[in-house]
A and B are shown apart, each in its own frame.
Chain A
């Protein structure tokens, strides 16, 4: 009845207007017929009433239609919610997989016992969290066995590639939803147009539409807050709600991930840095959230992209955080924790070799766009014990390694065996040099690459003819490979340097000159391929003790420089045998010289500059003419063990027992790149580094028995 009366009122309201319109027309058209007949009026009213009834029924039909749509869309929303659960679950699964990965690496690192103690509990803890999180909306399940079973099931699903499938399912669903939504939009427009036509009465239709829209807007604005509100009237509003739901979905999944991340970090990483990463992640997420709020529709349309990106983003943020953590972590720690951290560091580096590379690339590119960064490419595994020294062939992609397992091995980087599951390549050795009866400590390759020299604990220098780069590893034994042995030192030999060879003229007779330094306190000069008189001279600096490392001075053909246990370095004249310059560290008398023990000395290829690597974590630069320190810097977190200058003299490579190698710009003495390369054996880690003299290779040798080549 009310409806009716309303209609009547409507009718009466409309009546005069319509009447007025009709009146005007009739006035204009037929002015003379001034009187309405009663039947005519009645007929008009009847006619109008019928029209209104018709419209009313149309509206009712529309309303029914819209209600059907609402029901449909509500169903759709439920579907979305399920989808959300799927997404959340998938995220958890990914995280679980990540945990497992981490556990695996823990296992690698600490062995089975510690692994179970350290990693498993968090995993289980987390899994219980997972269980409740994911199922909160369904049922509150607190039964732990049920959860465990669920966990197990999840693992199985993961194993059979369920994750992949769920991604597919999700994307198809989203796509279907998207298509559907587009249809809705079209439909809506048509409908409105039809409605406008239906009302017929000129301006009123338009007005009605506008007010409708306004109403829907206000309601739409309200709905995101009360998303549970079931009924809404206009389609635009429904769209909004959907978008809001989707936005909420984003928030939900994001916050979940956020929390999980925090958990992860607190599990494994120390506090400072997890703070950092929290900030980062939250920032990112917030920005995302704002976007979603502002243009919910857009987000909805881009859901597909977003949700995929979301996945990547999550992984990426974690990765970058790890990478950030790598340089940061050791710095914030005390001496004792250092080792642990570097352990973790090694582990992380192992874990994300590629990411590491990416990160360093980014860092480098942000600083200087065209700088080359080095990435691990070849792993040389065949030594049974620490690799103590390595040297490249002057031109070929060939290198030789010397190890504590008493052997040297020859490697051709062009003969590789693809390693599984990694971007790096394994190389198998071409030849094994056997003659030493103790660990081999040092190695030098002649300028032609045809000879190499090695020495070690047994006090003998072996001169080798290097087999060709295409030798069959299982060829017959050629005793000629060992060209000769040099006897003269009475204790372990720790340093070798060679100059010249058949091609280059070093000593005036076209013969290679070899210098060696030994724990017997002497430095000796050899002519390794002479017919007689192999040993040419001996150099001793009584006041300085035992020489630790030796190199030729490149801008003075007749000079060599040796570092001593006194932390001094002495430049000798090869001819006279007399010290020319004594590089004085100007030691504080309170400082123990042993703390400044020099592990390695190298000369710059063009400048009168000597560089030394010290046990006290420093690298020092010396002026060969004045003998003074020109620069001194803390270069590593632990003893610096090895140095190499690139052939152009622009960069220095250093290695340390902190498990990392660092590349330094010689110009401004800044670290350009750090690579974690090897693991520790006792307290030793990296024992040698090298630049290829003519090709873009660098290499590191480690106490873990591996050598690595970076390109």
Chain B
């Protein structure tokens, strides 16, 4: 599928063979989105863009023509949840149940963990893990997302609530583990990309975007803290 004839007749096989060095991992020539014909084309395309330049958020969020928007949003959210693992791993080292007994960002809200039958006041680290696990289950659910090339309208509606929940991980890290947040953000630009993403596709209200990530642009700064 992504085989491409080169000038010299050799075929590019985009695979990481065992023994590949870390620096060569996924280092293959870009494949144009039009030539990706697998069911995972959108994921391939998004990952290819991120690998190339994680800071080029506009390009990463620029939907190809004729792309189903539901699938585009869904695959982006999958990618966010996946990359949020990185933040969760860092938080595991510092965010202890003794110090962060509740999931909070600012003093305004205590977030209850929706992973349980009755929402619970989980410690922040558990909230983080449970939310990511819950998102993984929901986004891989055969019931709501049986296909990765077309998504029901009713299932697309579920993406917003996933966004709201996982965003709290960013906000908790930002307000309580600023150093971790900054390190992580410098490497990945994930929170910035996420904020642009939910703003662009109107998945969260602006009031909820409390991490002042767009301050150099035209969004309100640390306002309702």
Contact = CB atoms under 8 A, between A and B. Distances in A.
A associates with B: yes
Interface of A: 107-114, 336, 339-340, 343, 379, 381-385, 405-407, 419-420, 426, 428-429, 432, 434-439, 441, 457-459, 473-474, 476-477, 479, 491-492, 494-495, 519, 546-549, 565, 597-600, 615, 639, 657, 679-684, 703-705
B3 A683 contact: yes
Given A474-B116, A599-B18, A682 B82 contact: no
A370 to B, nearest CB: 34
A612 B163 CA distance: 45
Contacts of A474: 113, 115-116, 126, 130, 133-134
Nearest to B3: A339
Contact of A495 (B18, B38, B86, B122): B18
A432 B126 contact: no
B67 to A, nearest CB: 8
A477 B92 contact: yes
A519 B40 contact: no
A477 B86 contact: no
A144 B180 CA distance: 66
Interface string B108-122: 000001011000001
Given A434-B85, A435-B92, A682-B31, A549 B39 contact: no
Given A476-B97, A492-B22, A434 B129 contact: yes
A684 B16 CA distance: 8
A683 B68 contact: no
Interface string B121-160: 0110110011011101101111100010110000000000
Nearest to A409: B136
Contacts of B32: none
Contacts of A598: 18
Nearest to A472: B116
B19 A428 contact: no
A682 B44 contact: yes
Given A383-B140, A682-B31, A492 B78 contact: no
A406 B85 contact: yes
B92 A547 contact: no
Contact of A426 (B17, B122, B142): B142
Contacts of A109: 39, 149
Nearest to B25: A457
B13 interface: yes
Given A476-B123, A681-B43, A682-B44, A435 B129 contact: no
B143 A420 contact: yes
A429 B18 contact: no
B41 interface: yes
Please name the 5 residue pairs, one residue from A and one from B, whose CB atoms are nearest each other, closest first.
A384-B82, A682-B14, A548-B19, A548-B18, A381-B140
Contacts of A441: 18
Interface of B: 1-3, 13-22, 25, 28, 31, 37-41, 43-44, 66, 68, 78-79, 81-82, 85-86, 88-89, 92, 97, 113, 115-116, 122-123, 125-126, 129-130, 132-134, 136-137, 139-143, 147, 149-150
Given A419-B142, A420-B142, A459-B22, A680 B38 contact: yes
25 contacts: A107-B150, A110-B149, A343-B1, A379-B142, A420-B143, A429-B133, A429-B136, A434-B85, A434-B89, A434-B92, A457-B22, A473-B133, A476-B123, A476-B126, A477-B97, A477-B125, A494-B20, A546-B21, A548-B19, A565-B19, A615-B17, A681-B43, A682-B31, A683-B2, A683-B13
What is the predominant secondary structure among interface residues of chain A facing chain B? loop
Given A343-B1, A426-B142, A519-B20, 18 more contacts: A111-B150, A339-B1, A382-B136, A382-B140, A383-B136, A384-B82, A434-B88, A458-B22, A459-B22, A477-B126, A479-B92, A494-B19, A548-B17, A599-B17, A615-B17, A682-B14, A683-B1, A683-B2
B78 A384 contact: yes
A474 B122 CA distance: 10
A680 B1 contact: yes
Contacts of A548: 17-19
A110 B37 contact: yes
A11 to B, nearest CB: 87
A113 B1 CA distance: 17
A405 B130 contact: no
Nearest to B77: A384
B164 to A, nearest CB: 18
Contacts of B20: 492, 494, 519
B174 to A, nearest CB: 20
Contacts of A639: 15
